[in-house]
Amino acid sequence: MAEKTTEQLLESVGAVRHGHFVLSSGRHSGTYVQCALVLAHPEHAEALGRALAERLRGTRIDAVISLALGGLILGQEVARALGVRAMFVERDAGGKMALRRGFHLDPDERILVVEDVWTTGKSTREGWEVVETEGGRVVALAALVDRSGGAIDWKVPAAALVEIAIPSYEEKECPLCRAGSVAVRPGSRFKEAKK
């Protein structure tokens, strides 16, 4: 699937939103990509998962760990295409990322970490840490959208189907806040936006 096609697909289902948002990283932005709207279509989810698996064909992957909630469906579909099992990490009551539900990694198991959107890459790095703590080895990373426009230096093979540089800001530097509008949280963490 060509990059343009994925971008057009996101547009066609209304997944690219414009306004004033608090991203899951806490940063503010005028654009938000709601991947759930495209993954709601199983045939699109399957095709996107296949396309990501194809991009990572040169890397041997034993299992997929996705970041809940945003990465779950995509991770499942990438794992389906790769023929490996799909697990996930999630935040516990204290907000700390953890491998739960009896999921278990074999020593040095080669793991692909899947997230829906990379903004700063912080969540993926947290998931990466959990994998290493659990004895696995992160050998590749994947996302549907790379909002950094390819600016993150991952140091392992990393694939995103859409690379777009969308500006985001710390709250105190946000020009939209300065203009008087109030940011809304489109929802990937459970915290509500302050104010």
Q: Which residues lie near Zn ion (CB under 5 A)?
A: 28, 174, 176-177, 183
Nearest one of 52, 25, 41, 166 to 113, comparing CA atoms: 52
What is the smallest separation between the CB atom of 195 and Zn ion, expressed in angstroms? 10
Please give the structure tokens belonging to residue 136: 């696995």
Please give the structure tokens belonging to residue 124: 């993926």
Q: Which is nearer to Zn ion, 79 or 174 (CB)?
A: 174
Q: Which is nearer to Zn ion, 22 or 78 (CB)?
A: 22
Detail the DSSP E strand segments found in the chain.
Answer: 16-22, 28-33, 63-67, 85-91, 97-99, 110-118, 137-146, 158-163
What is the smallest separation between the CB atom of 31 and Zn ion, expressed in angstroms? 12
Q: Which is nearer to Zn ion, 26 or 157 (CB)?
A: 26
- Burial, 73: exposed, middle or buried (Cβ in 10 Å; 0-12, 13-18, 19+)? buried
What is the smallest separation between the CB atom of 124 and Zn ion, expressed in angstroms? 23
What is the smallest separation between the CB atom of 38 and Zn ion, expressed in angstroms? 25
Nearest one of 134, 156, 182 to 59, comparing CA atoms: 156
Backbone dihedral region for residue 26 (phi beyond 0: left; psi -120 to 50: alpha; all else: beta): left
Q: Which residue is at the shortest CB distance from Zn ion?
A: 174
Q: Which is nearer to Zn ion, 20 or 55 (CB)?
A: 20
Q: Which is nearer to Zn ion, 27 or 44 (CB)?
A: 27
What is the smallest separation between the CB atom of 191 and Zn ion, expressed in angstroms? 16
